Amino acid sequence: CAARRSATLSSMVVTPSSRAGRTWLWRSIIVGTGPQVQHGREGSAAPRAPSAAECAVALRAAATPANVLLTYAELEELLGQSLARADAPDALLVACGMAQILDDYVTRDVLSLARVAEVAPRRLASVVLAARKVLLLLRDRAPAERRARALRRRHADVVRACATALAGNGVLPGPAPRTSLAAVRERVQRLPNCFCSFDQHPDDCAALAARVAKRLPDRTAPLAVLGIRTSGSYLAPIVAAHLRAAGYTSVGETTHRPARRLLREDAARLRAARTVLIVDDPPRTGNAYVRTAEALEHLGVPGSAQILLVPLLGEGLPDALAGRDAVTLPSHEWAIRTRVRDGESRRGHVRARSEDGRELLRGVGFGYFGRRAETIAERLPEFLPRVTGLEEGLLRREWLEDESRVGRANERLAQFVAVYLRARAERLGVTHDPTPALSGDDVAWERLGALLGGCFGRMRLLVRPFARNVARALCAPASPTVPDGHMRVESFFDLGERGLRKVSFEESTNVTSGRAAFCFDPAFDAAGVVADAEIENVADGTFADDVRRACTDALGAISDERWLLYQLVHHGIARYVGRGSLERLLAVERATSRAVQRYFAPLIGVHTGDGALCAVDIDDVLETRLLDAPAIGPDGAIALAGLARRHRVVLASGRSLPELAERCRAWGLAGGTAAYGAVVFDARSGTSRS
């Protein structure tokens, strides 16, 4: 940076506070070229070179990836860049991401035997656990495992040094240790809710540490900070660093993922501590805290030697944590609340309107997790609201009045969605799809694998590996693209002559409430807006076909199966989010039924013959509930197609008239009776009679 600055920036003058100035500046620094820009009053002739702080801002902007699902190898490169520019916040975030990968790797299960033991009969479960213990002992002696553990110990020193520097009590370390272990280098980090999906800040960790210091006056007593992964991989080192800065002479830190084993060296460190501090992101149910506390008790650390460090969203501790010793930080005392007033303690990011009413202040996350929103805005300016600034995880963008929100999903919206997704594919494309290396409910291919495997009933565990392989293949994109992940109709605004705009782009790709799933195929985002429009009942009759047609022209062919299954995954997400609401669940059911009806419609065809009438029931005859919703299957579609060639098929059902009409229109049937025979529907004329 110093060499570039002295060689190419000595005569450049810019306005670093403007977005255009920052963009030009970082391009000039990285590329080494750029036009000269004059600044100041007319006639001023004294060009000014950018300061070191301005160069650091520009370099951070240049180094911010739009995709934050990075492999260990990519994080190694990013850590080197952060250390080179002395960027302590980013260096710590990247180092903690690498530590999380290493911790999950060295504590991984063998052949998923722990999960097998959970569903096996009691006698068989004991045999499975004994076999697991033997296999883990054998694996731990392998040379690759020993190298991974040695790397973990060396990297822990890097994390501690970065956390100490961030706490203002040290300097950043030198180059971090690298590894040639392919099994580690190819693993992808899990994103932390604390700094990605919530607006927690390192200052909040300092506040928790200060409250602990008031509770524990003995600075010589050994302490251990246990972070619950994934957020704990980031929070525990920061809390420990602030405790050391407060004068505690013996503070260790480690992490634990519930249901995973603790390594022998970590268990010994926890047993040796007088007090173990357990930290995680804001709890919903508190179960992760409880399971971690119980694991400590199993190690021999009593509950009296445990203190929970709990950042809160809401009124107080969850019921599961009642009676446990806890140090809390209410949401109104978070650092971000000193900068923006948000009356709601929602899960997710803060949001508030500016005093003049022209801008929206929106939390987007800390460090490079938050700056990705500005990177995306820089690359898609014609599709998004104007972004005016980003500072300490708080994004400022223009306010869009609610009256301009799109109300109906029509062909105009379908065309915009296709153009928007094509622009994302062109400007936010990545070299490889990271999702096959991930697992969990936040990954689309795993949700899809569970959906396919569930159709095999009691054999679903046996076919699980095959269903997962099929799901990975179906979700493999030709051109992987950073996903939007929030393609809901309410996220689109119609600004008249300015065209449509997409909001919620600033949302983190990580999800704290199951509202989305990672998939780097743009077609998955397209299916998402169709699924949402039909669940909310705001779609025009041809909207699904319009979106698919437009996206096929813009992105390439989308197979019938992929299009259907992507919609079903979105329906499953909506079902999870809407659990507890009968109205919501029924809306999801109808959307699922419509998607399957469209898929089988070409097979059944449209028949206009004058054969004899033949009545067929719907539920448990033509349709089943293999998909958690009434939906026709291959057998029902083939039987209906054969029957309709010689007869005028009518449906006899207890279902409502609108549901009957949907099926008749989709399958080209003559009509039927609904509401247990209370109403007759003629599909050809579109009329009904009570």
pLDDT digits (tens, 9 = 90+) for 637-661: 999 999 988 899 999 999 999 999 9
Residue 578's pLDDT is 73
Cα–Cα dist 68/567, whole Å? 25
Return the minimum-mean-pLDDT range out of 53-67, 383-397, 474-488: 53-67
- Average pLDDT estimate for 398-404: 94
Banded pLDDT at 123 (limits 50, 70, 90): confident
Question: Are residues 674 and 664 in contact, defined by beta-carbon separation less than 8 angstroms?
Answer: no
Over 50: is that where the pLDDT of 454 sits?
yes
Alpha helix (H) ranges present in 434-581?
444-454, 460-474, 522-535, 543-555, 560-577
Banded pLDDT at 38 (limits 50, 70, 90): very low
Banded pLDDT at 170 (limits 50, 70, 90): confident
In this structure, the number of other CB atoms found within 10 A of the CB of residue 106 comes to 18
Return the minimum-mean-pLDDT range out of 115-124, 179-188, 617-626: 115-124
DSSP 305: G
pLDDT digits (tens, 9 = 90+) for 511-549: 444 567 899 999 999 999 999 999 999 998 899 999 999
Beta-bridged to residue 500, according to DSSP, are 494
Q: Which distant-in-sequence residues (6+ apart) come within 8 Å of 349 by Cβ? A: 197, 198, 199, 362, 363, 364, 365, 507, 508
Cα–Cα dist 507/129, whole Å? 41
Say what the alpha-carbon torsion angle 619, 625, 627, 632 is, to the nearest 10 degrees: -30
- Looking at residue 163, its amino acid is A
Residue 535's pLDDT is 95
Instruction: Tell me the pLDDT of the chain averaged across its residues.
Output: 87
In this structure, the number of other CB atoms found within 10 A of the CB of residue 496 comes to 7
In this structure, the number of other CB atoms found within 10 A of the CB of residue 215 comes to 10
Residue 441's pLDDT is 61
- Average pLDDT estimate for 80-84: 94
Over 80: is that where the pLDDT of 348 sits?
yes
Cα–Cα dist 236/217, whole Å? 20
Banded pLDDT at 14 (limits 50, 70, 90): very low
Picking from 101, 92, 91, 108, the residue whose alpha carbon sits closest to that of residue 70 is 101
pLDDT digits (tens, 9 = 90+) for 409-439: 999 999 999 999 999 999 999 999 999 998 7
Q: Which helix (H) or strand (E) holds 226?
A: strand 223-228
Residue of higher predicted confidence among 402 and 31: 402
Residue 455's pLDDT is 84
Over 50: is that where the pLDDT of 8 sits?
no
Provide the angle, in degrees to the nearest 10, between the axes of the packed helices 19-31 and 52-63: 90
DSSP 351: E
Residue 524's pLDDT is 96
Q: Which helix (H) or strand (E) holds 183?
A: helix 182-185
Over 70: is that where the pLDDT of 189 sits?
yes
- Average pLDDT estimate for 139-164: 95
Residue 60's pLDDT is 59
Helix (H, G, I), strand (E, B) or coil at 277: strand
Return the minimum-mean-pLDDT range out of 43-52, 195-204, 555-564: 43-52
Cα–Cα dist 682/373, whole Å? 52
β-bridge pairing 275-279 and 306-311:
parallel
pLDDT digits (tens, 9 = 90+) for 460-515: 878 988 999 999 999 999 999 999 989 999 999 999 989 999 999 887 654 444 56
561 Cα distance to chain centroid: 24
CA distances from 342 to 65, 255, 297 (A): 29, 32, 39
Over 90: is that where the pLDDT of 256 sits?
yes
Over 60: is that where the pLDDT of 388 sits?
yes
Residue 340's pLDDT is 87
Residue 30's pLDDT is 39
- Average pLDDT estimate for 399-405: 94
pTM of the model: 0.87
Residue 345's pLDDT is 66
Over 50: is that where the pLDDT of 2 sits?
no
Q: Count Cα atoms within 13 angstroms, Cβ side, for 360.
A: 18
Residue of higher predicted confidence among 63 and 305: 305
Residue 514's pLDDT is 53
Over 70: is that where the pLDDT of 5 sits?
no
Helix (H, G, I), strand (E, B) or coil at 655: coil
Residue 402's pLDDT is 93
Banded pLDDT at 293 (limits 50, 70, 90): very high
CA distances from 498 to 382, 419, 491, 506 (A): 9, 15, 16, 20
**Farthest CA pair distance, the chain:** 93
CA distances from 81 to 61, 86, 428, 482 (A): 12, 9, 21, 22
Tokens linked to 28: 């000039």
Over 60: is that where the pLDDT of 559 sits?
yes
Ramachandran area for residue 297 (φ above 0: left; ψ -120 to 50: alpha; else beta): alpha
Tokens linked to 361: 């202040």
Over 50: is that where the pLDDT of 40 sits?
no
